[in-house]
């Protein structure tokens, strides 16, 4: 039992470092928070968290090793993810400027009324695809289940690790959503929203290029 707790701490620490590091997931939740508000950002965060179930499932079934060893399968995921991030970047680059307002309360109402908000399903899907199509996430989970988690660990315990990672991922990005949808932060975004979108668009495209160059080696 002590071994299980030690292994869990290793898994939790590795996952914490991975989820807290800047990446496509953080960038999309940040943009949803600033551009569309808390509701959309939280649904996006839930989508990111639920995508972890996909990685955990194929890792438990051993399919992650097949994906890693198959150049064709890996390239399909890699280029699909890169294309999706490039599309998100293009959407951010061409997004219209926010209306100029000075009162934060009026600004929040104004932005909600002037911009069509994504549905909960669309926001969830955006978060899910951003994480699910990230080949670097694939490599992380394959490495985690091969090098950190023992082959002798019961499957139910491994599944429990997965539940923890889903909950921790969702909780982290929901926290990010809350922090970046505070009125003062939203008001600042409305003043400089055009430039923030351009910067995030460039970031998404940079991530797309980075993913396209990802190798299993």
User: Tell me: the pLDDT tens digits for 33-54?
Assistant: 988 889 999 999 999 999 999 9
Pairwise CA distance, residues 95 & 86, whole Å: 14
Q: Residue 99 has what pLDDT?
A: 52
Q: Residue 106 has what pLDDT?
A: 43
pTM score over 0.75: yes
Asked whether residue 217 is domain-assigned, the answer is no
Q: Residue 173 has what pLDDT?
A: 96
216 against 32, higher pLDDT: 32
Asked whether residue 201 is domain-assigned, the answer is yes
Asked whether residue 140 is domain-assigned, the answer is yes
Asked whether residue 97 is domain-assigned, the answer is yes
pLDDT mean across residues, the chain: 81
Pairwise CA distance, residues 96 & 153, whole Å: 52
Asked whether residue 118 is domain-assigned, the answer is yes
pLDDT tens column, 157-169: 999 999 999 999 9
136 against 188, higher pLDDT: 136
Asked whether residue 20 is domain-assigned, the answer is no
Q: Residue 217 has what pLDDT?
A: 56
CB 64 within 8 A of CB 145: yes
164 lies in which domain range? 2-15+25-212
Asked whether residue 35 is domain-assigned, the answer is yes
The answer on pLDDT for 76 being more than 70 is: yes
Q: Residue 127 has what pLDDT?
A: 95
Q: Which residues contact 47 (CB under 8 A, 6 or more apart)?
A: 123, 124, 125, 126, 127, 128, 129, 130, 131
DSSP code of 146? I
Asked whether residue 135 is domain-assigned, the answer is yes
Q: How confident is the model at residue 77 (pLDDT cuts 50, 70, 90)?
A: confident
**Mean pLDDT over residues 59-66, rounded?**
76
Domains of the chain: total: 1
Pairwise CA distance, residues 160 & 82, whole Å: 31
118 against 128, higher pLDDT: 128
Of the chain, the percentage scoring pLDDT greater than 90 comes to: 32
Q: Residue 83 has what pLDDT?
A: 86
The answer on pLDDT for 101 being more than 50 is: no
Residue at token pair 């179930």: 53
């Amino acid at each position: 039992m002590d071994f299980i707790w030690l292994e869990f701490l290793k898994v939790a620490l590795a996952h914490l470092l991975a989820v807290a590091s800047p990446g496509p997931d953080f960038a999309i939740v940040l943009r949803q928070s600033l551009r569309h508000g808390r509701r959309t950002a939280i649904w996006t965060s839930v989508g990111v968290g639920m995508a972890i179930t996909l990685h955990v499932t194929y890792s438990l079934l051993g399919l992650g090793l097949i994906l890693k060893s198959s150049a064709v399968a890996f390239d399909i995921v890699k280029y699909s993810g890169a294309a999706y991030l490039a599309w998100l970047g293009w959407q951010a680059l061409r997004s219209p400027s926010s209306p100029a307002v000075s009162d934060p309360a009026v600004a929040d109402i104004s932005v909600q009324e002037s911009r069509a908000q994504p549905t909960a399903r669309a926001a969830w899907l955006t978060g899910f695809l951003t994480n699910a199509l990230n080949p670097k996430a694939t490599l992380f989970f394959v490495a985690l289940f091969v090098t950190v988690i023992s082959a002798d660990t019961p499957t139910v315990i491994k599944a429990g690790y997965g539940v923890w990672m889903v909950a921790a991922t969702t909780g982290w990005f929901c926290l990010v959503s809350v922090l970046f949808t505070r009125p003062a932060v939203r008001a600042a975004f409305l003043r400089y929203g055009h430039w923030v979108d351009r910067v995030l668009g460039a970031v998404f495209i940079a991530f797309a290029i980075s993913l396209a160059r990802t190798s299993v080696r």
